């Protein structure tokens, strides 16, 4: 069983479209995250979310929004996609004292 699973693995879409990336964790972790990895491999936090609090990195455009239907899911919605949104997006989850687990990533290409 995959601990943190993301879908789709690859996503190619045109500028201006709206898309979603799904993430599910079966670890029972309380907190989930979205990270963006750019072409230079730099990993940057976008959101942190548990059932009490959403923390947003202030540099993330408001076209990006996390949606959490329940504790095990944190989906990423992106509106009006731009070329600069092309990157690999990683979902992760954590629980204090048990560490962090990352998904395998979604490569988004905006054309």
User: Least distance from C-beta 45 to other proteins, angstroms?
Assistant: 5
Query: Which residue from 7, 8, 19, 35 is spatially nearest to 110, judged by alpha carbons?
Result: 19
Q: Which three-class secondary structure state does DSSP give residue 85?
A: helix
Cα–Cα distance for residue pair 57/6, rounded to 1 Å: 21
Residue among 31 and 75 whose Cβ is closer to other proteins: 31
Look at the alpha carbons of 65, 89, 82, 15 in this order and tell me if their dihedral is positive or negative. negative
The region of 11-19, 62-70, 75-83, 101-109 touching other proteins under the rule CB under 8 A is 101-109
Is 31 near other proteins (CB under 8 A)?
yes
| Region class of 73: left (phi > 0), else alpha (psi between -120 and 50), else beta | beta
User: Least distance from C-beta 76 to other proteins, angstroms?
Assistant: 15
Which residue in 87, 94, 108, 110 binds other proteins (CB under 8 A)?
94
Is 60 near other proteins (CB under 8 A)?
no
Residues making contact with other proteins (CB under 8 A):
4, 30-31, 33, 35, 40-45, 48, 55, 90, 92, 94-97, 99-105
């Amino acid at each position: 069983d995959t601990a943190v699973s993301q879908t789709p693995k690859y996503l190619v879409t045109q500028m201006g479209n709206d898309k979603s990336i799904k993430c599910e964790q079966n670890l029972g972790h309380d907190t989930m995250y979205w990270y963006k990895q750019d072409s230079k491999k730099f990993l940057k936090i976008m959101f942190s979310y548990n059932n009490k609090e959403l923390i947003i990195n202030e540099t993330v455009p408001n076209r990006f929004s996390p949606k959490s239907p329940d504790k095990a899911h944190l989906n990423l919605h992106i509106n009006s996609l731009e070329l600069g949104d092309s990157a690999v997006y990683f979902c992760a989850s954590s629980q204090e004292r048990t560490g962090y687990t990352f998904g395998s990533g979604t490569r988004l290409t905006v054309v």
